[in-house]
Amino acid sequence: MRYEAPESVTAAVALLAGEAGTARVLAGGTDLLVQLRAGFVEPDLIVDLKRIEALHEIVEEDGGYRIGAVVSGAELEEHAGVSAMWPGVVEAVNLIGSTQVQGRATMVGNLCNASPAADAVPAMVAASATVRISGPNGRRRDADVGDIATGPGKTSLENGEIVESVFLPAKPKHSGDAYLRFIPRTEMDIAVVGAGVSLTLDDDGICTDARVTLGAVAVKVLLVEEAAAALIGTKVDAAALEKLAAAASAAAKPIDDKRGTKEFRKKISGVMARRAAQIALKRAGG
Amino acid sequence: MHQVHVSTKINGDEIEYLCETDETLLDVLRDKLGLTGAKEGCGSGDCGACSVMLDGRLVCSCLVLGAEAQDREVETIEGMADGENLHPLQSKFLEHAALQCGICTPGVLIATKALLEKNPDPTETEVRYWLAGNLCRCTGYDKIIRAVMDTAADMRGA
């Protein structure tokens, strides 16, 4: 196994595209090193992105924030601007693992690891986040966060492509977001169900826009339009929240495993989505 | 195998070593450099026994490649005491008997030192959440928490 730590995105992409065998990208390493040790992956090449200065940055852009691929959860939490604008996203990232894991783990790594239970992903999709992807021959493209993971451990990234940043857009006024997950303990566990909600109110407190997402209940994150539709046009009152919960439960397509049964996960999908919507509503000033 | 030459700073000393590309920082510390304070509990980032500081961030050294330490600064438990003088946390852990077998202790000390530098006046809940990634199978945690709270109070008074 070769280890390379290039200093530019161009060089990183060239290394990945030029590798005949298997290559893996190293950001925080909190998933990759576990997979290496367990023998799940035996790459011929590891490309460490942490020597690329630009990928450590959080920059303001169009009223929102662009967050580099190697910004750790701890660094994100310490950024007052992002935490104020998208608290749900920051909370979701900070739910990943321990303090030690937060010192290394990244949002982009959480996305590209493509676990169906990834905590950061439902929150990012609820926030309408996009990613910037660099590929061979200087090709760059933007994509919706929800289009990156395609199934457990699988992404839509092509050979040689890396995700270099996540963009969280400007938040309209009277907007709020939240992410909640269910785990059978208080800390250090993998989501049994995760729910992200982002919503916007008008001056009269009527919901004009909403996005509701679920994690850990399908092969990839679900954007539940029926649940969002239950909120739009309402004051996000009890009746609207009941409809949202029913829509979320109906949309969930979970598996049975040791962490929860299908039936339990479907029910909890509604509960988590409803509670997340209540927090998002409060943050929107409703 | 591919070997990497690494120059780094560990507990303030300039250090050079050769490591395999798939070798973790924990294995380098323990097997190459004789710094056996950091322990391997799980090897998967769950137990915190291998906690070290990397460029001022608390990390699990089992989740860092040895090669990644190039030009970085690493702090381990071996650098915590000042010669014969124990760090206040170390003294309080002895006073409160906040350890039994001691396997988790270096990691717990590194993690709590990082906490108190960031937050000199944590609540008990904050300490417990901060240490959620440091597993201890002996103490039941209460003595650890008491030692940390007591150290924090002392250090604020100093």
* Residue A282 identity (one-letter amino acid): K
* Assigned domain for A119 exists: yes
Residue A258 lies in a domain: yes
In chain A, whose CA is at the least distance from the CA of B127? A99
Q: For residue B100, what are the domain limits?
A: 88-157
* Residue ending a domain, choose from A144, A168, A192: A168
Dist. CA A130–CA A116, nearest whole Å: 18
* Closest chain A residue by Cα to residue B126: A99
B133 chain-A contacts, CB cut-off 8 A = 97-101, 188
Contact status, residue B71 vs residue B7, Cβ threshold 8 Å? yes
Within this chain, do residues A185 and A81 fall inside the same structural domain, yes or no?
no
Q: How far apart are CA A145 and CA A120, in angstroms?
A: 10
The token pair at B68 is 């990644």
Assess if residue B21 is contained within a domain. Answer: yes
Query: Distance between CA atoms of A109 and A155, rounded to whole angstroms?
Result: 12
Specify the 3-state DSSP secondary structure of B61. helix
Are B65 and A48 an interchain contact pair (Cβ–Cβ within 8 Å)?
yes
Chain B, nearest residue to A48 by Cα: B68
CB contact (8 A) between residue B60 and residue A100: yes
Domain end point (choices A113, A148, A168): A168
Same domain? A96 vs A138: yes
Q: Which residues is B51 bridged to in the sheet? A: B60
- On whether both A207 and A109 belong to a single domain, the answer is no
Residue A21 placed within a domain: no
Supply the pLDDT for residue A186. Answer: 82
Residue A71 C-alpha, separation from nearest chain B C-alpha, in angstroms: 12
At residue B47, what are phi and psi to the nearest 5 degrees?
-105, -20
Contact A104 B59 (CB under 8 A): yes
CATH code of B136's domain: 1.10.150.120
For residue B134, give how far its alpha carbon lies from the nearest alpha carbon of chain A (Å). Answer: 8
CA A201 – CA A10 distance, rounded (Å):
42
Give the per-residue pLDDT at B2: 82
Which of A3, A35, A46, A100 best probes binding to B when mutated, by most B CB atoms within 10 angstroms?
A100
- How far apart CA A161 and CA B109 sit, in angstroms, is 41
Q: Is residue A20 part of a domain?
A: no
Same domain, A161 and A184: no
Same domain, B96 and B130: yes
> Where are the alpha helices (H) located in chain B, listed in sequence order?
25-27, 88-95, 105-118, 124-130, 142-157
Q: Do A163 and A198 lie in a common domain?
A: no
Complex ipTM value:
0.96
Residue-wise pLDDT for B94-130, tens only, equals: 999 999 999 999 999 999 999 999 999 999 999 999 9
Whether residues A239 and A145 share a domain: the answer is no
Q: Does B2 contact chain A (CB < 8 Å)?
A: yes
Distance CA A78, CA A230 (A): 35
Q: Select from A36, A50, A98 the Cβ nearest to the Cβ of B132.
A: A98
DSSP-H helix ranges across A95-169: 99-102, 107-112, 120-126
Domain end call among A138, A168, A198 = A168
What is the gyration radius of the CA atoms in chain B, in angstroms? 16
Whether residues A84 and A59 share a domain: the answer is yes
Q: How many domains does chain A have?
A: 2
Which of B76, B104, B122 is the endpoint of a domain?
A: B76
| Residue A223 to residue A251: CA distance in whole angstroms | 9
Q: Chains A and B: how many Cβ contacts under 8 Å?
A: 89
Domain limit, last residue, from B52, B76, B100: B76
**Does B135 lie in the same domain as B95?**
yes
Tell me: do A66 and A94 sit in the same domain.
yes
User: Measuring CA to CA, how many Å separate A26 from each of A6, A52, A248, B42, B123?
Assistant: 11, 12, 35, 21, 35
A9 within domain boundaries: no
Q: In terms of domains, do B45 and B109 share one?
A: no
What are the pLDDT tens digits along chain A (286 aa)? 999 999 999 999 999 999 999 999 999 999 999 999 999 999 999 999 999 999 999 999 999 999 999 999 999 999 999 999 999 999 999 999 999 999 999 999 999 999 999 999 999 999 999 999 999 999 999 999 999 999 999 999 999 999 999 999 999 999 999 999 999 988 888 999 999 999 999 999 999 999 999 999 999 999 999 999 999 999 999 999 999 999 999 999 999 999 999 999 999 999 999 999 999 999 999 8
Helix (H) or strand (E) holding A167: strand A162-168
Distances (CA, A) of B94 to A279, B80, B116, B147, B151: 44, 15, 18, 9, 12
- In a shared domain, residues A69 and A160: yes
* Residue type present at position B1: M
B130 touches chain A (CB under 8 A): yes
Burial label for B39, CB within 10 Å (0-12, 13-18, 19+), is buried
Mutate to test the interface with A, among B60, B71, B136 (most CBs of A within 10 A): B60
- A residues 12-31 lying closer than 8 A (beta carbon) to B: 26, 29-30
Could you say which of B32, B48, B76 is where a domain stops?
B76
How close B150 comes to chain A (CA, Å)? Answer: 21
Q: Report pLDDT digits (tens) over B36-54.
A: 999 999 999 999 999 999 9
Instruction: For A22, list phi and psi in degrees, rounded to 5.
Output: -90, 140
Q: Is A45 part of a structural domain of the chain?
A: no
Is residue B45 one of the residues assigned to a domain? Answer: yes
Q: Is residue A33 part of a domain?
A: no
- CATH code where residue A181 lies: 3.30.390.50
Distances (CA, A) of B9 to B42, B74, B118: 26, 6, 22
User: pLDDT at position B1, please?
Assistant: 61
Establish if A232 belongs to a structural domain: yes
Contact list, A38 vs chain B (CB under 8 Å): 44
Three-state DSSP at A222 gives: strand
Closest chain A C-alpha to B87 CA, distance in angstroms? 21
**Count: domains in chain B:** 2
A159 and A195 part of one domain: no
Predicted pLDDT at A187: 81
User: Average pLDDT in the B66-83 region?
Assistant: 98
Q: Is B49 on the interface with A (CB under 8 A)?
A: no
Domain residue limits at A77:
55-168
Contact between A285 and A200 under an 8 Å Cβ cutoff? The reply is no
Cβ–Cβ below 8 Å for A74 and B67: no
The CATH number assigned to the domain holding A121 equals 3.30.465.10
Residue of chain A with shortest Cα separation from B51: A100
User: From the CB of residue A258, how many other CB atoms can be counted at a distance below 10 Å?
Assistant: 5
Query: In this model, does residue B27 exceed pLDDT 70?
Result: yes
Q: Give Cα A121 to chain centroid, integer Å.
A: 2
